[in-house]
Amino acid sequence: MTPRRPALDEGVRPGEIVLEHASRAFSVKADRGRTLKEMLIGRRRAGGPAPVQALRDVSLHIQPGETVGMVGRNGAGKSSTLRVLAGIVPLNSGRVACGGQVVAQLELGAGFGRDFSGRENIFLNGALHGLQKEQIESRLDAIIGFSELGDFIDAPVATYSSGMFLRLGFSIAAHLDADVLLIDEVLAVGDEAFQRRCEARIAEQIAAGATLVLVSHDAALIERTCERLVVLDGGRKVFDGPVDEGMPFYHRLMGTAVTVPSPQ
Amino acid sequence: MAYRYLFEQMVRRELRQKYKGSALGVLWYLINPLVLMGAYYLMFGVIFPAPSEDDYPLFLLVGLVVWVFFSQAVLSAAPSLLDQGALVRKARFPREAIPASVVTVQLVTFLALLALLTPITIAIRGTADLALLALPLILACLFAFVLGFALAVSVLHAYFRDVAPILSAALLPWFFLSPIFFDPSHLDRFSDETAALFVLEWVNPVAPFIVAIRDVIYGGALPALPVLLYVGVAAALVLAGGMALFRRMQGELAVVV
């Protein structure tokens, strides 16, 4: 095992994010694995759709403590950018660096063991973020309290409703002392009261100095939470600036994309 | 080792999922080699008597538990990265932890079997000897060898889905060619065919591990120096090779699984 903690990438401060001329393409073939035959003959099957260029020469510099919303059409490259920042998917070209403890909430509850209790999953999930047993124990009460799961915390996760599942996932991720928070459209969690508490919890983390990159289609949420806006379109960065200037730009972009039949 | 606790958690999870819902639970790990031993004893001890070894059931069992560890570990490691796809796609952590935890679970059951089998064998055969002190070292080498092999197989299978089926097809003839039912040096038929003997003894990388462990437990003697050297070198090479391959290929794992 490599002792590769998601620690400081080189040359960046905790909470700082650098993306330089980042490009990344994905093959969109139905069968993504290669077969041995192809490897032996040394070529891939011809035909099928061409690779999708998810990121084209994107550069982004985010200072510690900044709050950045990321918007764009479906397929604009928002989630790919987050997966690149989280260090899950490597770039084809360019450079990425994220400083400090990076907590990515790309899918709440990913990796929960369904036969395990909520409590056991807290330990498993914390360990996945590189925490040791004692560090998780010290946050256990806060996580359980925030999740509002009560006695269900000792029931197998398989018996949870989808809302409970997501609440637990968010509660764990929200108590990991992140320097960088990467959140992909996961705030539509549970009921309205819980959503408000999620937002409040994120605000607390920002107040404590965390950097936030939030992908969402909820313009109001982004206006409430973020000061800076990045608009992506077709894998390119088409706007980067204050959110109050960016939102009109984004709405125009989306508006022009749809041809509205003009009343005659 | 920042991820030591993650590794511990994953091993625990594997163990738990293995025994879940099975009435006999851990006992299956005892029953399987015993059933195998009974079947092969019937075949090669009674029906077609092979070159007879003393206490043939014990001779068989020692070789079988080593083989079962090797084959189960690599067979269950092969699809492990795909099985944990949700984790690989959504979280950043050392992916080696996944196949390593699968191998470790198999190691735990193997060591438990060995802890039962060793005293029984020694008691029956009177093979208590200082050579036993070398056993932990040989077992460490075996673990390194299996781990390296499993790392390679798991990452290869994530990219090329033919690897696991090929492996499971290869394991059967590999099993029969491994010195589990026979001691290669006792095969009279091959005594003047040094090439065939050489292949049986040295080309199969699992063979020296079986021979070494059997020498200590069943034979009560230190393995020959070439065997010990082979075991050490094979462990180092395979582990280093497996880790290097894994590191080289793991970049795209989140995309391919």
What tokens were used for B68?
């079962």
List all residues 6 or more positions away from A259 whose beta carbon is below 8 Å from its beta carbon.
none
Across A70-93, b (16+ Cβ under 10 Å) vs e yields bbbbeebbbbbbbbbbbbbbebee
Q: Read off the amino acid at residue A207.
A: A
Most confident of A125-134, A160-169, A237-246: A237-246
What tens digit of pLDDT does each residue of A45-68 get?
A: 556 677 888 999 999 999 999 999
Domains of chain B: which residue ranges?
A: 24-256
What tens digit of pLDDT does each residue of A95-105 get?
A: 999 988 899 88
CB within 8 Å: A89 and B5:
no
Identify the pLDDT of residue B18. 75
Distance CA A123, CA B212 (A): 40
Average pLDDT of B175-188? 85
Does A32 lie at the interface with B, CB-CB under 8 angstroms? yes
Identify the pLDDT of residue A261. 52
Lowest mean pLDDT among A76-80, A87-91, B32-36, B219-223: B32-36
B 151-170 residues with CB < 8 A to A: 158-163, 166
Q: Which of B177, B230, B185 is nearest to B204 (CA)?
A: B177
Q: Which residue has the higher pLDDT, A264 or A162?
A: A162
A181 and A213 Cβ atoms separated by less than 8 Å: yes
Distance CA A202, CA A205 (A): 5
Average pLDDT of A237-246? 94
What tokens were used for B7?
């590794």
Alpha-carbon gap: B98 to the closest alpha carbon of chain A (Å)? 10
What pTM value is reported for the model? 0.86
Burial grade of B39 (CB within 10 A; 0-12, 13-18, 19 or more): exposed
Q: Which fold has domain A8-27+53-101+178-264?
A: Rossmann fold (3.40.50)
DSSP conformation letters of A196-246: HHHHHHHHHHHHTT-EEEEE-S-HHHHHHH-SEEEEEETTEEEEEEEHHHH
Taking contacts as CB-CB distances below 8 angstroms, the residues of chain A near B101 are none
For B255, phi and psi rounded to 5 degrees?
Answer: -90, -35
Q: Which residue has the higher pLDDT, A148 or A255?
A: A148
Which residues are registered as beta bridge partners of A104?
A182
Interface test with B, best of A45, A128, A137 (most B CBs within 10 A): A128
pLDDT interval class at A128 (50, 70, 90): confident
Interface test with A, best of B4, B6, B98 (most A CBs within 10 A): B6
pLDDT of A262 strictly over 70? no
Residue with tokens 């050489």: B198
Average pLDDT of B56-61? 90
For residue A116, how many other CB atoms are within 10 A of its CB?
20
Alpha-carbon gap: A261 to the closest alpha carbon of chain B (Å)? 40
Q: Which residue has the higher pLDDT, B74 or A53?
A: B74
Alpha-carbon gap: A217 to the closest alpha carbon of chain B (Å)? 20
Identify the pLDDT of residue B205. 95
pLDDT-above-70 percentage for chain A: 84
Distance CA B11, CA A1 (A): 14
Output DSSP code: residue A8.
P
pLDDT interval class at A30 (50, 70, 90): low
Torsion sign (Cα): B176, B181, B185, B188: negative
What tokens were used for A41?
């003959």
Interface test with A, best of B12, B19, B92, B102 (most A CBs within 10 A): B92
For A54, phi and psi rounded to 5 degrees?
Answer: -80, -35
β-strand pairing of A228-233 with A236-242: antiparallel
List all residues 6 or more positions away from A70 whose beta carbon is below 8 Å from its beta carbon.
A78, A81, A82, A213, A214, A215, A229, A230, A231, A232
What tokens were used for A242?
């204050």
Output DSSP code: residue A35.
P
Identify the pLDDT of residue A2. 34
pLDDT interval class at A4 (50, 70, 90): very low
CB within 8 Å: B9 and A123:
yes
β-strand pairing of A211-215 with A180-184: parallel
Most confident of A97-111, A161-175, B99-113: B99-113
Identify the pLDDT of residue B159. 92
CB within 8 Å: B2 and A127:
no
B 50-109 residues with CB < 8 A to A: 84, 86-87, 89-94, 96-97, 100
Q: Which of A86, A107, A124 sits opposite B92 (nearest CB)?
A: A86
B63 and B179 Cβ atoms separated by less than 8 Å: yes
Taking contacts as CB-CB distances below 8 angstroms, the residues of chain B near A101 are none
Average pLDDT of B79-85? 93
Q: Read off the amino acid at residue B5.
A: Y
Q: Which residue has the higher pLDDT, B39 or A33?
A: B39
Q: Which of B6, B158, B162 sits opposite A128 (nearest CB)?
A: B6
Does B252 lie at the interface with A, CB-CB under 8 angstroms? yes
List all residues 6 or more positions away from A255 whose beta carbon is below 8 Å from its beta carbon.
none
What tens digit of pLDDT does each residue of B120-147 get?
A: 999 999 988 899 999 999 999 999 999 9
CB within 8 Å: B90 and A36:
no
Q: Which of A213, A167, A155 is nearest to A193 (CA)?
A: A167
Identify the pLDDT of residue B194. 76
CB within 8 Å: B91 and A104:
yes
Q: Which of B84, B97, B254 sits opposite A89 (nearest CB)?
A: B254
Distance CA A187, CA A198 (A): 7
Identify the pLDDT of residue B190. 65
Residue with tokens 């390194």: B144
Average pLDDT of A81-86? 92
Q: Read off the amino acid at residue A229.
A: L
pLDDT interval class at B15 (50, 70, 90): confident
A81 and A44 Cβ atoms separated by less than 8 Å: no
Does B255 lie at the interface with A, CB-CB under 8 angstroms? yes
Interface test with B, best of A1, A37, A91, A157 (most B CBs within 10 A): A1
B 20-59 residues with CB < 8 A to A: 20
What tokens were used for B237?
């090479």
DSSP conformation letters of A134-189: HHHHHHHHHHHHHHT-GGGGGSBGGGS-HHHHHHHHHHHHTTS--SEEEEES----
Identify the pLDDT of residue A7. 45
Domains of chain A: which residue ranges?
A: 8-27+53-101+178-264, 108-177
What tens digit of pLDDT does each residue of B187-239 get?
A: 766 666 777 788 888 899 999 999 999 999 999 999 999 999 999 999 999 99
Q: Which residue has the higher pLDDT, A7 or A125?
A: A125
SS3 label, residue B141: helix
pLDDT interval class at B155 (50, 70, 90): very high
pLDDT of A258 strictly over 50? no
Alpha-carbon gap: A132 to the closest alpha carbon of chain B (Å)? 6
Does B6 lie at the interface with A, CB-CB under 8 angstroms? yes
Distance CA B177, CA B199 (A): 9
Helix (H) or strand (E) holding A215: strand A211-215
What tens digit of pLDDT does each residue of A193-235 get?
A: 888 888 899 999 999 999 999 999 888 889 999 999 999 999 9
Helix ranges, chain B (H): 4-19, 27-40, 56-77, 80-83, 85-90, 97-125, 135-159, 163-177, 194-198, 207-217, 225-249, 253-256
What tokens were used for B167?
């492996």
Lowest mean pLDDT among A20-24, A49-53, A253-257, B234-238: A253-257
Does A134 lie at the interface with B, CB-CB under 8 angstroms? no
pLDDT-above-90 percentage for chain B: 61
